Amino acid sequence: MRLKRPTIPYIIWMAVFTVIPIVLILLYSFTDRTGSFSFEPLVKAVGYTNVFLNSIWIAFISTVICLVLSYPLAYFMSRLKRSTQNLITMLIMIPMWMNFLLRIYAWVTLLQNNGPIDTMLSLLGIHTQLIGNQGAVIVGMVYEYLPFMVLPLYTVMSKIDYQLIEASEDLGANMFVTMRKVVIPLSVPGIISGVTMVFVPSASTFLVAQYLGGTNDIMIGDVIDKIFWSDRNTGSAIALILMVAILFFLIILNFFGDEEAIAT
């Protein structure tokens, strides 16, 4: 029964559908249109540094907002009755199952000029442009990825032994000290997986900015989409940089996670 053979089809599959495509991206990143070795695509890709920074900035803000909104919610959920916990988990998962384009489109409907929110604000005498700016992109992003922050946080917190919290309170810690010294350190694995699950897709997403942002709010995913159809080399180079950056980010985050695990 100690067979290794069943893995062979998958190894071949990975070679064809994971390794070859990545090798091709690498190859295209280091060649010009004629196919000879060149740094031109990478140099051109560096020209999009602003877009890269903008994407990271938007992803960072969205991740922080998701974390701040989710943390108290996850903590509260973990203190409820079992049946209520299951109900709220279900309520949080349902919107996640809607296609992401529909969820973004819902915000286009809400925020558009003369849309429901705009009309309401006009009645109060407030006239602002709600759509087509960075704020709208961040709202869309937070909406899109909030469940991916709540669920891992909740999973970790529901495993925290409540007696530890009680002990901390008995020993005279107030709520904030208990939070800082007991709950937060114990929930680090949840924070790490939540941050990963929100930051990585939001930094690399495309279309959200096209739907909700203005002309200046282009993100790196959109650039790859736009460029790839006409200039594969530069497109590959940008994709390569994005992939390396994300893997680097994951390694750093994992490193923090291990450190924490050793410390406790």
Site for other proteins in 102-121 (CB under 8 A): 102-103, 105-110, 112, 114-116, 119
Asked if residue 91 binds other proteins (CB under 8 A), the reply is: yes
Please provide the size of the chain in residues. 264
Q: Does 176 bind other proteins (CB under 8 A)?
A: no
Q: Binding other proteins by CB under 8 A: which of 53, 101, 177, 252?
A: 101
Among 93, 120, 177, 252, binds other proteins (CB under 8 A): 93
Least distance to other proteins from the beta carbon of 185, Å? 22
Residue 155 binding other proteins, by CB under 8 A = no
Place of tokens 């594969």: 232
Task: Spell out, one character per residue from 188 to 227, where the chain touches other proteins: x when CB under 8 A holds, - when not.
Answer: ------------xx-xxxxx--xx---------x--xx--
3-class state of residue 220 by DSSP: helix
Binding to other proteins by CB under 8 A, coded x per residue (else -) over 239-258, reads: x--xx--xx--x--------
The piece of 35-43, 46-54, 99-107, 122-130 that touches other proteins (CB under 8 A) is: 99-107
Rounded-to-integer distance, Cα 260 and Cα 1, Å? 38
Q: Residue 198 half-sphere exposure, CB side, CA atoms within 13 Å? A: 34
What is Dmax (Cα atoms) for the chain? 74
Backbone angles phi, psi at 124, to 5 degrees: -85, 0
Please give the residues from 24 up to 83 whose contact with other proteins meets the rule CB under 8 A: 24-25, 28, 69, 72-73, 76-77
For 221, residues 6+ apart whose C-beta sits below 8 A from its C-beta are: 55, 204, 205, 206, 207
Q: Is the dihedral of CA 24, 27, 30, 35 positive or negative?
A: negative
Nearer to other proteins, 95 or 135 (CB): 95
Query: How many residues bind to other proteins according to rule CB under 8 A?
Result: 78
Regarding 18 and contact with other proteins (CB under 8 A), the answer is yes
Phi, psi of 177 (to 5 degrees): -65, -40
**Cβ-contact 246, 235 below 8 angstroms:** no
| 17 binding other proteins? (CB under 8 A) | yes
